[in-house]
Chain A
Amino acid sequence: MQSYLYFPGCSLRTVARDFEDSARASARALGLELKEMQGWLCCGAVFPNVADNVMTNAGPNRILARARAESDTLVTLCAGCHNVLKRANLQAKRNAIKQEQINEFNEERYEGGLGVLHFLEVLRDRVGFSAIREAAKMPLRGLPVGAYYGCLLLRPFEEMKLDDPHRPSVLENLLFSIGCVPVDYPSRTECCGSFLGVGAPDAMALLSRNVVQAARSHGAKLLTVSCPLCKYNLEASQKQDPAASSSSEPLPVVYFTQLLGLALGVSPEDLRLSDTQLQTIRGSVKSTVESVSQP
């Protein structure tokens, strides 16, 4: 079984256990092990966006240094952690003076040499979607899913380089490979409101509702995400919206790893799918092969 060193992050150990458990179970079903790295800590949640800040670089660089001691590749799941660790890794390569400052501050040296991969990159570039298609014993035929990318997986593009920032396709291609029908809708790379959910929840709700409404009006029966904060915002904005709750059921939000796991034959319990999520999925999966669209 091929093994990848893996960084969980804070949210995945608390409110987003469904993300971590479904990812590890799906990986196992594909013959991969996600091996938890030693001595991990909070990545800081956001990459320091201003140039004169050393302290907020401490966390991600400690993580990179400790991961490098174990492996040359580090896999992440949460889009937020991925953004921070990938950019801190790139900064170490590009800015030697800053890196020296950080290393002195930390009293723990990171000098590069690690590759930071999102699990989606492992699925696309190492496993391959055709292999996933073959391994998907129970494809979710015809299930209309809105893939929601949000911001941090894709931007800043020059640093993330995970997919096209305007027309990304990695989530849609994964959905195709497990039988789903990805729904094309206009807001899939727009912001969910991010941390404004703490300081300005009304501002966040307007943005998240826009995403949910766009996906729903284009036929999505559920949304899939790669970020615990996106999931929280998309769900919370629907709970707070009296107009939406009276006219229609909330649009369920699941992690892409939960859909992947289900198609690979992992049990819904191991994927931590709720009854409502499972009902929506089962109610929308088509039994006939003819209904499947091909990319």
Chain B
Amino acid sequence: MAHQISAATVTSPLLRKVERISGQNLSLCYQCGKCSATCPLAPQMDLMPHLVIRYLQLGLEQVFDAKSYWLCATCFSCETQCPRGLDVSKVCEALRTIKLRNDLRDLKIEKPSPEMPQQGLVSAFRKLSPY
């Protein structure tokens, strides 16, 4: 997938917005890929976690087209491995939050099993809705 990188993309407000919401300084990331190596969901993602960060560093709005940030289960495996102290799960949550605050059509909650613990339902609504 070819993307145009320019002065306009790298200075886009997206990076600063994600940094503000997530509380993470994305310029710390030097693309070692340990987050992608440890992420249990990475095999199911279309954009590896370290590439999510790279897209944001370059200001590429196409990051929103990926399904990766919807698949992040907030297990914090990346956070225990990152040599720069970044938490990619917070970045994924910021992306979900931005997306959902703009467009509620992305809310994807199907009817769960009656045995599903409340903990699972409440977590899903917290993670997959803007509230």
Listed in ascending order, the chain A residues whose CB lies under 8 Å from chain B are: 9-11, 14-16, 42, 44-46, 48-52, 55-56, 78, 80-81, 150-151, 155-157, 165-166, 190-191, 193-200, 203-204, 206-207, 210, 227-229, 232, 236
**Bound Cα distance A200, B68 (Å):** 12
Binds A, one of B1-9, B26-34, B48-56, B72-80: B72-80
- Given A49-B89, A52-B20, residue A191 in contact with residue B77 (CB < 8 A): yes
Q: A44-B126, A155-B76, A207-B73 known; 17 other A-B pairs, CB under 8 Å?
A: A11-B118, A49-B89, A50-B23, A51-B23, A190-B77, A195-B120, A197-B124, A198-B110, A198-B121, A199-B70, A199-B124, A203-B41, A210-B40, A228-B119, A229-B119, A229-B120, A232-B117
> Which residues of the other chain, B, contact A155 by a CB distance below 8 angstroms?
75-77, 79-80
Q: Contacting B80 at CB < 8 Å: which of A55, A157, A198? A: A157
B65 CB within 8 Å of chain A:
no
Chain B nearest CB from A206 CB (Å) reads 7
**Bound Cα distance A15, B122 (Å):** 14
Chain A nearest CB from B18 CB (Å) reads 10
> Which residues of the other chain, B, contact A45 by a CB distance below 8 angstroms?
118-120, 122-123, 126
A46 touches B118 (CB 8 A): no
Interface residues on B, range: 35 or more
Q: Which residue of A lies closest to B80 (CB)?
A: A165
Q: Contacting B123 at CB < 8 Å: which of A16, A156, A229? A: A229
B122 touches A10 (CB 8 A): yes
> Which residues of the other chain, A, contact B112 by a CB distance below 8 angstroms?
197-198
18 residue pairs from A and B, CB less than 8 Å apart: A11-B117, A15-B115, A44-B122, A45-B119, A50-B21, A50-B94, A52-B21, A56-B126, A78-B119, A151-B77, A155-B76, A156-B76, A190-B77, A191-B41, A191-B73, A191-B75, A194-B74, A199-B109
> Which residues of the other chain, B, contact A16 by a CB distance below 8 angstroms?
117
B71 touches A14 (CB 8 A): no
- Given A46-B123, A51-B22, residue A15 in contact with residue B90 (CB < 8 A): no
Listed in ascending order, the chain B residues whose CB lies under 8 Å from chain A are: 20-23, 40-41, 44, 70-71, 73-77, 79-80, 87, 89-90, 93-94, 97, 108-110, 112-113, 115-124, 126-128, 131
**Bound Cα distance A228, B122 (Å):** 13
**Bound Cα distance A228, B76 (Å):** 19
> Which residues of the other chain, B, contact A166 by a CB distance below 8 angstroms?
80
> Which residues of the other chain, A, contact B116 by a CB distance below 8 angstroms?
15, 197-198, 232
> Which residues of the other chain, B, contact A48 by a CB distance below 8 angstroms?
126
Q: Which residue of A lies closest to B123 (CB)?
A: A195
**Bound Cα distance A155, B40 (Å):** 15
Q: Which residue of B lies closest to A51 (CB)?
A: B23
Q: Contacting A46 at CB < 8 Å: which of B23, B77, B126, B131? A: B126
- Given A14-B117, A232-B120, residue A195 in contact with residue B23 (CB < 8 A): no
